[in-house]
Amino acid sequence: MATRGSLDLERRRDLWYSMSTHTISSIAEAWQLATAWRELAGPHPFRSPEWCLTWFEHYSKASELCIFVDYDDQGGLQGLAPLVWQQTAVHGRLQFLANGQACTDYNAFFVKDDSPEVMRRLVQAIDNFIRRKVRYTSVRVELDGISADSGFEMQLLEQSKELHYSIRQQPIEASYVLSLPLNFASLRSGFNRNLRRKFDRINHWFQTGEVQFHRTKNQTQLLQRMSDLVHLHQRRRKMLGQAGVFATQQFTDFLTDAAQRLAGRNQAEIHWCEMRGRIVSAQLVLLHEQTISTYINGMDPEFMAEEPGFSLVAGTAQNAIERGFRTYDFLRGEELYKRHWRAQLHPLNRLYLTPNCVVPLLYDSAYDLARNVKHFAQNLWSR
């Protein structure tokens, strides 16, 4: 049972952090912060309000918006943690916005000048929020898609330890990043003989017009081509016996809206290849500074012998070089073709942070036990 002295100390601590840090729970208020958010978070589309808040607009059911913000004495935004609270009957989780099916990479808290003090205030505000949620339910912070060994991860782990949180790091599928040279010939020269032959064949098709590469230039064109991307992706997934992410209308609507908003800021395009007058491959591309990232693609199963996916990557890479991009980010996923392009692995982590309270710790132990039993059964069954 807490003493009067400990309660007074907790109130004083809450008051100290509330002076500069508070929580935004209204989507309308969050959108009003969009300009300052972009300036603080940097140019990556995944960190933008267009990506994060659009996701919440489509996935807000049974969720509570929890954007922790920190201001200086002049009201300038110094820190922002873009989070969402999701509660079930027995478990509550504080997660990044655009989690789950959206597969958002390079998540972080946004802190001006990487200030340890601002980060500390954000983490303390999150801790206060979590501990108010602890009653007879399990709670924890689950943060997905963090760059391994990043400055953000190291600061977060250090301050979570100071608050006596139980910490578990779990590697997830890595992203793959390819450095682009100044010209396409230099890119070609770095590959083995078989890959160079593919390059030459595809380049010949581009030059003769047998394969045509295109990209959208505005929001209207992107919307027109989004339906082609969805159709191709689902046809390919069906051929592989998979449901495909676009099987859910919720995800389709989210991605369409987010891509349109990003296209309005020149940060999203759809690239596609045509063969014999038919669209055979398409992908959604995200843009920022000197980096081009491919988020999701689709291919016509009837043209797989002509390798439409290779044509699409080659066309995108060549176009990116011509436009001055210096990095091609394939994002998360262990697809073999990324290694063939000699893209470098960029590790990503998921962090589980559990407060030092009886119920959450018991839940974590039960969860780990159930997961280990499941893995053991799967391994036993596969023998």
pLDDT tens, 331-358?
999 998 999 899 999 999 999 999 886 4
Residue 92 included in any domain: yes
Angstrom distances, CA of residue 23 to CA of 8, 26, 129, 137, 318: 22, 9, 9, 22, 44
Same domain, 89 and 204: no
| Residue pLDDT, tens place only, 296-324 | 999 999 999 999 999 999 999 999 999 99
Indicate the SS3 state at residue 63: strand
What's the half-sphere exposure (Cβ side, CA atoms, 13 Å) at 31?
10
Residues 318 and 187 in one domain: yes
pTM: 0.89
- Which structural domain, as residue segments, surrounds residue 43? 4-173+350-382
**pLDDT beyond 80 at 124:** yes
Interval 356-374 mean pLDDT: 58
Does residue 80 sit in the same domain as residue 205?
A: no
Residue 89, CA distances (Å) to 25, 62, 139, 317, 368 in order: 21, 11, 11, 48, 19
Do 48 and 151 have their domain in common?
yes
Residue that terminates a domain, selected from 309, 325, 341: 325
What share of the chain in percent tops pLDDT 70? 87
Q: Mark whether 103 and 219 lie in a shared domain.
A: no
Mean pLDDT of the region 163-184: 94
How far is it, in rounded angstroms, from Cα 303 to Cα 51?
33
Burial class (CB in 10 A: 0-12, 13-18, 19+), 304: middle
- C-alpha closest to that of 122 among 29, 20, 25, 33: 20
pLDDT in tens, 59-86: 998 899 999 999 998 889 999 999 999 9
Please indicate, yes or no, whether residues 18 and 79 belong to a single structural domain of this protein.
yes
Q: Are residues 16 and 58 in the same domain?
A: yes
**Does 308 lie in the same domain as 224?**
yes
Q: Is 251 within a domain?
A: yes
- Domain count of the fold of the chain: 2
Largest Cα–Cα distance in the chain?
82
Query: Is residue 339 in some structural domain?
Result: no
Domain presence at residue 336: no
Mean pLDDT of all residues in the chain? 89
User: Same structural domain for residues 225 and 362?
Assistant: no
CATH number, domain at 106?
Answer: 3.40.630.30
